[in-house]
């Protein structure tokens, strides 16, 4: 597996992985309306250009296939963490998270925090994150309830 910083030419593969992961993996925990609302937000290439430019945004590749991506901003907010549906449970998310934690430490962040989906919550709990609250968001009149999770670094 190769980890590297995302580039603009990765955007089509990022969008594809984002949409397909939500449709196949997150669909066990969310309604069809929530799923379609969620993945539709990621179809805009301009969103990804902005995120790649403003965050530490890394991708994982195996045999030149994008198998995961993750990002963190300067204040320690973990914005994205997605793993390809065919590569779940193979240590990719853990590897990406370890790299983001290293970056957060290098940035002198006191903690990493994120708004975590129902699907991802057990993964973060296993890796030492705790629930510090609930984040309610509404997108296109569809409500999403995420766990605010964090891990102290200092």
Give 24-29's long-range contacts (Cβ < 8 A, gap of 24+).
24/85, 25/85, 25/88, 25/119, 26/117, 26/119, 28/119, 29/117, 29/118, 29/119
What pLDDT does 4 receive? 98
What pLDDT does 69 receive? 98
Please list the pLDDT of the chain residue by residue as tens digits (154 residues): 999 999 999 999 999 999 999 999 999 999 999 999 999 989 999 999 999 999 999 999 999 999 999 999 999 999 999 999 999 999 999 999 999 999 999 999 999 999 999 999 999 999 999 999 999 999 989 999 999 999 999 7
Gap between the Cα atoms of 111 and 97, Å rounded: 13
Q: Does domain 2-108 have CATH number 3.40.630.30?
A: yes
């Amino acid at each position: 597996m190769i980890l590297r910083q995302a580039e603009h030419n990765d955007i089509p593969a990022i969008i594809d992985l984002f949409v397909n992961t939500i449709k196949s993996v997150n669909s066990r925990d969310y309604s069809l309306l929530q799923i379609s609302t969620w993945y539709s937000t990621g179809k805009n290439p301009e969103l990804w250009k902005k995120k790649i430019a403003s965050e530490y945004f890394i991708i994982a590749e195996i045999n030149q296939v994008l198998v995961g991506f993750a990002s963190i901003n300067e204040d320690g907010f973990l914005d994205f963490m997605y793993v390809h549906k065919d590569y779940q449970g193979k240590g990719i998310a853990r590897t990406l998270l370890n790299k983001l934690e290293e970056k957060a430490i290098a940035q002198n962040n006191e903690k990493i925090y994120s708004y975590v989906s129902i699907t991802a919550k057990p993964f973060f709990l296993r890796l030492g994150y705790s629930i510090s609250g609930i984040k309610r968001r509404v997108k296109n009149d569809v409500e999403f309830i995420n766990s605010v999770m964090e891990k102290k670094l200092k």
